[in-house]
């Protein structure tokens, strides 16, 4: 079994923060990368892609591809942005020609991609955007714009970049529960965390 899974957790408290985090991850992007975006409607999947595209130098506005299924943008790497929300048959997904998209040297980001994992290569970064659970903030600072972002690196492509991933999300890294350094309700560490 060669598959390794690494999980990292971040928090943002504004859409721009999520975009900036995504842009920091885009710096690590390599040809053929697959990013699976998961999370409820309105959680910020499209916002993440917008920030990721910005990080890759895409200047064209990135919009939700819900009705077009797939859109391409030119940046440092070609960005293939897919949304499989409407697809209820895996056969329809097959028609998207995912294999070719992954092979053409660009980066593929799939909103609701967790619904089609059986037909995806077992080598991807899952980005799961979540609303923090009610009562999670202890100090009462949680708001509508807070998101918990769980990164799950599955397989070798992202697994070997886990240290870079850790550094990229450090400004938004979630403080471990019961961290001695923090007061209850403290925001996650800003500004890079511990030196390395």
- Considering only residues 161-190, where is the footprint of ligand ADP by CB under 6 A? none
Structure tokens at 145: 């714009």
Could you tell which of ligand ADP, Mg ion, none binds residue 171, using a CB distance below 5 to 8 A set by kind?
none
Residue 42 sits in the site that holds ligand ADP (CB under 6 A): yes
Dist CA 163 CA 54 (whole Å): 23
At its nearest, how many Å lie between Mg ion and the CB of residue 9? 21
Dist CA 32 CA 181 (whole Å): 40
Residue 12 sits in the site that holds ligand ADP (CB under 6 A): yes
Strand partners, 74: 78
Provide the 3-class DSSP secondary structure of residue 14.
Answer: coil
At its nearest, how many Å lie between Mg ion and the CB of residue 96? 16
Q: Tokens 């329809």, residue?
A: 92
At its nearest, how many Å lie between ligand ADP and the CB of residue 146? 6
Dist CA 131 CA 146 (whole Å): 7
Total site size for ligand ADP, rule CB under 6 A: 18
- Whose Cβ is closer to Mg ion: residue 116's or residue 170's? 116
User: Over the Cα atoms of the chain, what is R_g?
Assistant: 17
Residue 15 sits in the site that holds ligand ADP (CB under 6 A): yes
Residue 142 sits in the site that holds ligand ADP (CB under 6 A): no
Residue 39 sits in the site that holds ligand ADP (CB under 6 A): yes
Could you write out the three-class secondary structure of 99-125? Answer: HHHHHCCCEEEEECHHHHHHHCCCCEE
Stretch that binds ligand ADP, among 9-17, 28-36, 92-100, 155-163 (CB under 6 A): 9-17
Could you tell which of Mg ion, ligand ADP, none binds residue 174, using a CB distance below 5 to 8 A set by kind?
none
Dist CA 135 CA 7 (whole Å): 23
**101 neighbors 80 (Cβ within 8 angstroms):** yes
Stretch that binds ligand ADP, among 36-44, 97-105, 114-122, 164-172 (CB under 6 A): 36-44
- Binding residues (CB under 6 A) for ligand ADP: these are 12-15, 17-18, 39, 41-47, 64, 111, 145, 147
């Amino acid at each position: 079994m060669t598959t390794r899974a690494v999980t990292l957790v971040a928090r943002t408290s504004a859409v721009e923060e999520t975009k900036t985090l995504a842009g920091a991850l885009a710096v690590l992007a390599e040809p053929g990368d697959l990013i699976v975006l998961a999370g409820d409607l309105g959680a910020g999947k499209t916002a993440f892609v917008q920030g990721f595209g910005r990080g890759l130098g895409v200047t064209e506005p990135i919009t939700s591809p819900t009705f077009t299924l797939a859109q391409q943008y030119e940046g440092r790497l070609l960005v293939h942005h897919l949304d499989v929300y409407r697809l209820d048959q895996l056969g329809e997904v097959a028609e998207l020609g995912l294999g070719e998209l992954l092979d053409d040297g660009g980066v593929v980001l799939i909103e609701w991609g967790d619904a089609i994992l059986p037909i995806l290569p077992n080598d991807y970064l899952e980005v799961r955007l979540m609303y923090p659970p009610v009562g999670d903030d202890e100090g009462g600072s949680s708001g509508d714009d807070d998101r918990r972002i769980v990164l799950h690196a599955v397989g070798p492509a992202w697994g070997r970049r886990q240290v870079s991933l850790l550094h990229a999300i450090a400004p938004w890294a979630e403080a471990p529960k019961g961290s001695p350094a923090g007061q209850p309700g403290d925001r996650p560490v800003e500004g890079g965390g511990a030196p390395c």
